[in-house]
Chain A
Amino acid sequence: MDWRRFGIIGLVIVIMFGTVVLVGISKDSALVIITSMLATTIAVATPLTLGALSGIYCERAGVVNIGIEGMMLGAAFFGWLASIYMNSIFHFPALVSITVGVIMAILTGGLFALLHAVLSITFKVDQIIGGTVINILAIGITGFLNRQMFFGAGSVFGGQVPHSPGVLPRIHIPLLADIPIFGRIFEQQPIALAALALVVITHFIIFYTRWGLRTRAVGEHPRAADTVGINVIRMRYMNVIIGGFMAGLGGAYFTLESISSFEPLMTNGRGFIALAAMIFGNWTPFGAWAAALVFGAAQALQINLQFFRTSIPPQLAFLQNAYVVGLAPYILTMLILTGLIGKTIPPAADGKAYEK
Chain B
Amino acid sequence: MQKTDEQGFARNLKRRADPFLVPLLAILTAVILGGLIIKVVGGDPVAAYRGLLQGAFGSPKALSETAVWATPYIFAGLAVAVAFKGGLFNIGAEGQLAFGAVTAALIGYALPTWLHTDLPAYIHIPLAVGLGMLAGALWAAIPGALKAYTGGHEVINTIMMNYIALNITSYLLNGPMRDPDPLNLSARTPQIAASARIPPIFNLPGLRVHWGFVLALIVAFIIWWLLWKTTLGFEIRTVGANPDAAKYAGINVKRTIIITMAISGALAGLAGAIEVTALNYRHELGFSVGYGFDAIAIALLGKTNPFGVVLAAVLFGAMRNGATRMQFLTQIPVDIISVIQALILLFVAADAIIRFIYRIRAREERVVLTRGWGG
Question: Chain A interface (Cβ within 8 Å of chain B)?
Answer: 64, 66, 119, 123-130, 132-133, 135-137, 139-141, 143-148, 151-155, 265, 268-269, 272-273, 275-276, 279, 321, 323-324, 326-327, 330-331, 333-334, 337-340, 343, 345-346, 350-352
Given known A-B contacts A132-B296, A337-B146, A350-B372, A140 and B155 have beta carbons under 8 A apart: no
Q: Residue among B152, B171, B336 with the most chain A CB within 10 A?
A: B152
Instruction: Please classify the interface of chain B as helix (H, G, I), strand (E, B), loop, or mixed, using the class held by over half of its residues.
Output: helix
Do B369 and A129 touch (CB < 8 A)? yes
Given known A-B contacts A123-B350, A129-B369, A139 and B338 have beta carbons under 8 A apart: yes
Question: Chain B interface (Cβ within 8 Å of chain A)?
Answer: 37, 41-42, 89, 91, 146, 150-153, 155-157, 159-164, 167-168, 170-171, 174, 289-290, 293, 296-297, 300, 331-333, 335-336, 338-343, 345-346, 349-350, 352-353, 366, 368-374
Do B335 and A128 touch (CB < 8 A)? no
Considering the chains assembled together, what is the distance between the CA atoms of A323 and B370 in angstroms?
32
Do A148 and B342 touch (CB < 8 A)? no
- Contact residues in B for A136 (Cβ distance below 8 Å): 293, 296-297, 338, 341-342, 345
Do A351 and B371 touch (CB < 8 A)? yes
| Closest A residue, CB atoms, query B154 | A337
What 7 pairs across the A-B complex have the smallest Cβ distances? A351-B372, A140-B338, A337-B152, A144-B335, A323-B171, A147-B333, A338-B150
Do B168 and A330 touch (CB < 8 A)? no
Given known A-B contacts A129-B370, A323-B170, A272 and B156 have beta carbons under 8 A apart: yes
Considering the chains assembled together, what is the distance between the CA atoms of A334 and B37 in angstroms?
39
Given known A-B contacts A144-B336, A147-B335, A324-B171, A125 and B345 have beta carbons under 8 A apart: no
Instruction: Please classify the interface of chain A as helix (H, G, I), strand (E, B), loop, or mixed, using the class held by over half of its residues.
Output: helix
Do B373 and A346 touch (CB < 8 A)? yes
Considering the chains assembled together, what is the distance between the CA atoms of A127 and B368 in angstroms?
11
Considering the chains assembled together, what is the distance between the CA atoms of A217 and B211 in angstroms?
57
Do B339 and A140 touch (CB < 8 A)? yes
Q: State how many angstroms separate the Cβ of B25 from the closest Cβ of chain A.
A: 15
- Contact residues in B for A340 (Cβ distance below 8 Å): 150
Do B164 and A331 touch (CB < 8 A)? yes
Q: State how many angstroms separate the Cβ of A303 from the closest Cβ of chain B.
A: 16
Q: Residue among B153, B164, B170, B372 with the most chain A CB within 10 A?
A: B372
23 contacts between A and B (CB under 8 A): A66-B155, A119-B346, A123-B350, A123-B352, A124-B366, A130-B349, A130-B350, A132-B349, A133-B345, A136-B293, A136-B342, A137-B339, A137-B342, A139-B293, A140-B335, A140-B340, A148-B336, A330-B161, A330-B163, A331-B160, A351-B371, A351-B374, A352-B372
